[in-house]
Amino acid sequence: MHRPADKDLVMSGTDRFEKWHHRNDRAENALIFPDGCRDVLVVHEPGKREKVLLTDLDFQPRVSELAEGTEITGFRLRPGAVVTDEVLLAVARDCAQVEELLGNALDEVNDLDDVIVALTLPMATVEQVSKQAGVSLRTLQRRFREYGLPSPEYWRLLARARRAAGLLASERPLVEIASACGFSDQAHMTRDLRRWFGGSPAQIRRDPYCLSLLTQPALGNWTGEQISTR
């Protein structure tokens, strides 16, 4: 899930999660792009009880309706992170301890963290990554299912699309970006970016708001570094 990108956004982060805060003074439709991350949200809506939500991983862009006066404190989990229902219940019981609870829950790295990072690298293939991990392709796919995560190909394809989208902020020609990111040609890149982000490379390049969303820390640039093809 992508956080709203505006002047009211306040962010801080660790290697386990990125904390953010957003408040909207009027009703709005928040654009959300696939990013390979789940968010734990503590949501305050006027006249309603505080609630705690865990977002799903997205496969296509969507819009989330936010009522006037909605205030959200979000914790974007590192790509592929898994949080149990028990942790969410503990957060709901004591939201003041959410950072400690999430930090403890995510302190132990699962055995797919390095695999997901490898899948985000330029020119990576699932077959190569499975060999590097010392397991068969079928075993690797099964491990992702056991964690309730999308297939390895999801992470590879989304990371490639996000890498290309991040480079649209530069003045590099589109055909050069397509080649550098491992697409067969510019048309291939255009199809993928439309699928994941709902617009062509040219449309995204002309939209500063979309570019700001697509360069937030997430799959492929979790540390906040610029997405690179090197």
Instruction: Say which CATH number the domain at 130 has.
Output: 1.10.10.60
- Residue 117 and residue 101 in one domain: no
Does residue 23 carry a pLDDT above 80? Answer: yes
Across the range 12-27, mean pLDDT stands at 83
Query: For residues 215 and 2, is the Cβ–Cβ distance under 8 A?
Result: no
Question: φ, ψ for residue 190 (rounded to 5)?
Answer: -60, -45
Instruction: Say which CATH number the domain at 32 has.
Output: 2.60.120
- Residue 128 and residue 72 in one domain: no
- 227 lies in some domain: no
- Residue 24 and residue 68 in one domain: yes
- 121 lies in some domain: yes
DSSP state of 109: P
Total domains present in the chain: 2
Query: For residues 58 and 47, is the Cβ–Cβ distance under 8 A?
Result: no
Across the range 24-41, mean pLDDT stands at 94
CA separation for the pair 170, 160 (Å, rounded): 16
* Residues 98-133 pLDDT 10s: 999 999 988 766 789 999 999 999 899 999 999 999
- Residue 101 and residue 124 in one domain: no
| Domain extent for 178 | 113-214
> pTM surpassing 0.85?
yes
Return the closest-CA partner of residue 42 out of 72, 82, 10, 1.
72
Across the range 83-99, mean pLDDT stands at 92
Q: Which residues share a beta bridge with 71?
A: 23, 44
- Residue 126 and residue 185 in one domain: yes
pLDDT confidence of residue 110 = 75
Rounded percentage of the chain residues whose pLDDT exceeds 70: 90
Query: For residues 112 and 152, is the Cβ–Cβ distance under 8 A?
Result: no
Confidence of residue 16 (pLDDT cuts 50, 70, 90): confident
Confidence of residue 20 (pLDDT cuts 50, 70, 90): very high
- Residue 83 and residue 134 in one domain: no
- Residue 63 and residue 133 in one domain: no
- 165 lies in some domain: yes
Average pLDDT, the chain: 89
Return the closest-CA partner of residue 154 out of 188, 195, 183, 190.
195
The DSSP string of 22-85 is EE-SS-EEEEE---S--EEEEEE-TTS--EEEEPPPPSS-EEEEE-TT-EEEEEEEPTT----H
- Residue 186 and residue 99 in one domain: no
Does residue 51 carry a pLDDT above 50? Answer: yes
- 62 lies in some domain: yes
The count of other CB atoms within 10 Å of the CB of residue 118 is 18
* Residues 129-138 pLDDT 10s: 999 999 999 9
* Residues 123-181 pLDDT 10s: 999 999 999 999 999 999 999 999 999 999 999 999 999 999 999 999 999 999 999 99
